[in-house]
Amino acid sequence: MTTNGYYRLAAVIPPVRVADVAANSAALVQEARKTAELGAHAVLFPEMSLTGYTCGDLFFQPRLLEAALRGLETLAEKTADLSCVIITTLPLVVHEALFNTAVVLQSGKLLGLVPKSVLPNYREFYERRQFHPAADLRVNEVSFSGFGSVPVGTDLLFSDGSDFTFGVEVCEDLWAVIPPSSRLALQGARVIFNPCASTELVGKAAYRRRLVAQQSGTCLAAYVLASAGVGESTQDVVYSGHALIAENGHLVAESPRFSRSSTMACADIDLQRLGAARLSESSFNENKLPQEWSGVRVVPVIPADTECDLRLAQISKRPFLPSATQAEERCEEILNIQATGLAKRVEHTGSKCLVLGISGGLDSTLALLVCVRACKLLGCSPDCIRAITMPGFGTTGRTHDNAVKLANLLGVQLSEVDMRAICQQEFQMLGFDASQHTTTYENVQARARTELLMNTANLHGGIVVGTGDLSEIALGWSTYNGDHMSMYAVNCSIPKTLIRCLIAHVGLHSDPELAGVLQDIIDTPVSPELLPPAEDGTMEQKTEELLGPYDLHDFFLYHFIKYGATPHKLLLLAQHAWSKEYDDATIRRTLRTFLTRFFAQQFKRSCIPDGPKVGTISLSPRGDWRMPSDASAVTWLEE
């Protein structure tokens, strides 16, 4: 049993004695049992772990070859009570030819054999002296005493009938122009295991990391590599013992190198998520199963009997945010994408100015910062930006003052229009009782503000820059034909959690006065400020108290859109990531709100303005997200 597609994968570097099969098989048994106790569904050992990789011409000795087979029998016999899949390689004689062959074991049974395809034949390696490549193999099965007939070949996939489908390639195979793992991935392998013996040279570990991560990304797969350790012969080269696990382009686990005792890399990998990514990635399916790659044999694997507890899973609380090491570069890249998109729109339309409403909140602050950057790209002065603050019934002194300070510090044109009189006139025309703080009360204000911005843009030959963000678009938290509408929406693929990050980034590179204003804006609770403030003048209407935390909404949005996570899985992931910050009731309530609003508010997304995509998720109806406006959420809410 597994938890929503998660499997625990391990790569172990055991102690090895060159040509001492008895000691090596005992070590593999010990390490296999340890990883099984940790709940691993599969464990990978380095190349030739039973004999040692550096045996050289000893591989021609019948005594060593016979010992290797006995060691395999011992490994199988003493792990027969484990459901954990075990993978390594051994020297195998087939029709008087020697092959470097991966072995796949489970519950004491030998499931399959995969010979190495690409044999190194350069510098410190001369593997062709002892071994034949897989292309020289002329049989599909091999008979073993104690194991019976076992499938052999590079066309084997191993599958539990669910998400755990894997293939094996051996060491140098990964360094090939077209690695066997590429074909295996196209045939359905979501995990690639690589028992390896890679020498350690200056800079090679970094290259190995990049290679493993890149191949996992190319294959939309998990990639597990275990490379031979310091127990190998150091006659001419040194082996460091390097275990790596990557998932879809990202390195998620790594062992220390040069250890004189056993080491391990272990991670909980979401194989269901990899399947969802493949389903939506056209570039993957466009290359799927060319005629010459269509043949494959599937070997059944016993489904895992342990549930993955996710403690080794890398589940980011805020998946839209860059890592600390990438924050500087990524924030600059995002701001440049936004500003470049806006600059192009200004050039195309011949606009004389940029018009936007500023409230002292997060969204309008980021939009204004992007406008200033776009002006720099165009060689324009920031005074071609017309910022309008439009206090209404809910405006507080804190947000108003921050809006004014921000505009003045950035050197843009600032004007103020009190919207209360305009809205009162609208209420009278409607025959509406303004003491009733209903949706009408709020939306009259929002639409009046948008109308003023649009007319101002017409008056001065400009365009209205939208401020709404991805989180609001997902939840429909905007007034239709109010703040929902603009002439170019620079924040349309920036979620609320990322907006805070971007503003903080600008603050780090600003003078102290501007940085202080930006920080206070970040610290201000999110609010549309459409309802009257409290008696003490503080903000009464707080969005996250009504909808739930944006931290959770952005978390749900990411996993729902990018990987098609089910409601049950969304709940499970959120509980795992956010249990210290939010109780279970809050997480469940916010998830229900997210699903309900996401479906009900699609009609707003069906006619949103143009705006730049900056990440992998966008809800533009013209490209990334095409959904009928009247789709029902019942199927999702039932779960």
The residues carrying an active-site annotation are 47, 116, 171
Q: Read off φ and ψ for residue 492, nearest 5 degrees.
A: -65, -20
Q: Are 84 and 32 in contact (CB under 8 A)?
A: yes
Which segments within 37-144 are labelled E, that is strand? 42-44, 85-94, 97-106, 109-115, 141-144
Identify the bridge partners of residue 242 per DSSP, sorted by sequence position.
227
Identify the bridge partners of residue 488 per DSSP, sorted by sequence position.
465
Strand-strand pairing, 165-168 and 156-159: antiparallel
Q: What is the phi-psi region of residue 289: left when phi exceeds 0, alpha when psi lies from -120 to 50, beta otherwise?
A: left
Residue 347: CB atoms within 10 A of its CB come to: 11
- DSSP structural state of residue 389: E
Contacts of 433 (CB under 8 A, 6+ apart): 427
Q: Are 26 and 62 in contact (CB under 8 A)?
A: no
**Alpha-carbon separation of residue 115 from 93, 140, 168, 451, 527 (angstroms):** 11, 11, 9, 70, 62
Q: Read off φ and ψ for residue 128, nearest 5 degrees.
A: -65, -15
How far is C-alpha 269 from the geometric centre of its chain's CA atoms? 11
Residue 161: CB atoms within 10 A of its CB come to: 11
Structure tokens at 529: 């400020």
- DSSP structural state of residue 172: G
Do you know the residue count of the chain?
639
Q: Are 387 and 413 in contact (CB under 8 A)?
A: yes
**Crossing angle of the two packed helices 420-430 and 439-460, in degrees rounded to 10:** 120
**How far apart, in whole angstroms, are the C-alpha atoms of residue 475 and residue 550?**
10
